[in-house]
Amino acid sequence: MISAKGFHQSLEDKCHRMLNAVELGTVVAIHRRVAKDECFVVLRGKVRVTTHGDDGSIIEDVVLSQECGNYGVDIPKNVWHKLESLEAGSVFFECKEGPFVPHEEEGVLVKLRDKEF
C-alpha cells in the first residue's frame, strides 16, 4: 500500500516533490522514466532500491535507512528500477522533473511484469 502527499501545485509543475508512505512488503514494480531523473531519500524506515538490466537482472541493490547510513539515491533517466518497503511505516521523499506523464509501455518492463524479481 502506498500513500503519497505531493508538494507540487499541479501535475503540470516543472518539479514534482512528494512524500511516499509505504507498508512492509509494498513493491513499486520495475519501471523507468525514459527522459527524467528521479531522486529518493528515506525519512523513516527501510526501503530497498534496485536497478535492473533490460532482462530484469539486478545491477545494483541499495537499502536506504538511517540504520544503514544510506539515505538516498539518484536514478538517472532511462534506468530500470524497483522499490520495496522492508519495514512497516517507511516514508521516503521523491523528486523528479515534471510535468506528469503516465507510464507508457516503454516505461514498464512488460516482459517481466508477471515474474517476481
pLDDT of the residue at 117: 42
State the DSSP string of 33-55: -TT--EEEEEEESEEEEEEE-TT
pLDDT of the residue at 114: 47
pLDDT of the residue at 16: 83
pLDDT band per the 50, 70, 90 thresholds, residue 15: confident
Query: How much of the chain is in helix, strand and coil states, percent to nearest 5?
Result: 5, 50, 45
pLDDT of the residue at 33: 87
Query: Rounded mean pLDDT of the chain?
Result: 84
- Burial (CB < 10 A; 0-12, 13-18, 19+), residue 38, is buried
User: In this predicted model, what pLDDT tens digit does every residue of 78-115 receive, in sequence order?
Assistant: 999 999 999 999 999 999 887 766 655 555 655 554 45
Mean pLDDT (whole number) for 32-39: 90
Q: Is 51 left (phi over 0), alpha (psi -120 to 50) or beta?
A: beta
Domains detected in the chain? 2-100 (2.60.120.10)
